[in-house]
Amino acid sequence: MLPRAERALSDWLASGARGIGQLLIVKTGGFSLRHREDEARADLQVFRSPNDATELARLDDAENYRPLKTAPNLRHGWVLELADLPALRLALDLFYPGRLPALAAWEANQLATTPLRATLDRQTGMYRSAAKISDGEIDELVGRFCRSRGGEPGCLRTILWARDMTGARPSLRLPLDKFIAPVDQTERGEHVMPLLCQEACNLLVAEARKVVKDSSNRAERTGFEGSC
């Protein structure tokens, strides 16, 4: 029997899914992967090991490091030829870590989600202050940081978590489609496997801390200027 993540992958491909995130999956004798925007190109550099995905996912086109692997800045210009389904699964795990198991759990109604406030409240050390972020600041931050298109950093995951225990959407600045799986977050409107986000990532938590710190610094400056 196939592992659950491989079974989910196989089922999605059988249903006609063309890829995941910015990746196009083509059935050959095995499988091939490339950037979805490179579908018609014939000048791609060829790779053949699923482990090559680590390096292919590391930098963007400008050779800048990609700390968030689901950001919409995957590099172009390559094709990865893979022998079979296990090799494909491994490559996808390296391009988008943890997303296939999350998809399989979601399909089985076993994917637990964590509200943003709960994620922030459990932070310790230097990130403890992130919990002080206001609802308005969350709305602006998530709307800017998590958007699928239109700026850096951006993220192609579909958000499943709420702002807090009330179930409120974390940002009204994002389109409703950002919270609906399996909408294609690249806006190409194709049938693809969704990249699911069940909990705010460490990068968003770090950015929340920065927002709180900047807000505190502004308040201190305003208080100092008012006392002069």
What total of structural domains would you count in the chain?
A: 2
For residues 82 and 161, state if they share a domain: no
For residues 162 and 214, state if they share a domain: yes
What pLDDT is stored for residue 223 in this prediction? 59
**Mean pLDDT value across residues 163-181:** 97
For residues 121 and 211, state if they share a domain: yes
For residues 181 and 219, state if they share a domain: yes
Asked if 97 and 69 count as a contact pair (C-beta separation under 8 A), the reply is yes
For residues 120 and 222, state if they share a domain: yes
Q: Rounded CA gap, 102 and 161, in Å?
A: 13
- H/E stretch holding 35: strand 31-35
Chain-wide mean pLDDT for the chain?
A: 94
**Mean pLDDT value across residues 120-136:** 97
What values do phi and psi take at 154, rounded to 5?
75, 160
Contacts of 44 (CB under 8 A, 6+ apart): 34, 38, 77, 78, 79
What pLDDT is stored for residue 215 in this prediction? 86
Q: Crossing angle for the helix pair 135-145 and 202-227, nearest 10 degrees?
A: 130
Strand, helix or coil at 23? strand
String of DSSP letters for 38-97:
GTT-S-PEEE--TTHHHHHTTB-TT--B-SSTTSS----SEEEEESSHHHHHHHHHHHST
For residues 124 and 216, state if they share a domain: yes
For residues 185 and 145, state if they share a domain: yes
Residue environment code for 134-157, b if the CB has 16+ CB neighbours within 10 A, otherwise e:
eeeebbebbebbbbbeeeebbbbb
Q: How does DSSP classify residue 193?
A: B
At 220, is the pLDDT very low, low, confident or very high (cuts 50, 70, 90)?
low
Residues spanned by the domain of 35: 4-97
Residue 205: pLDDT over 60: yes
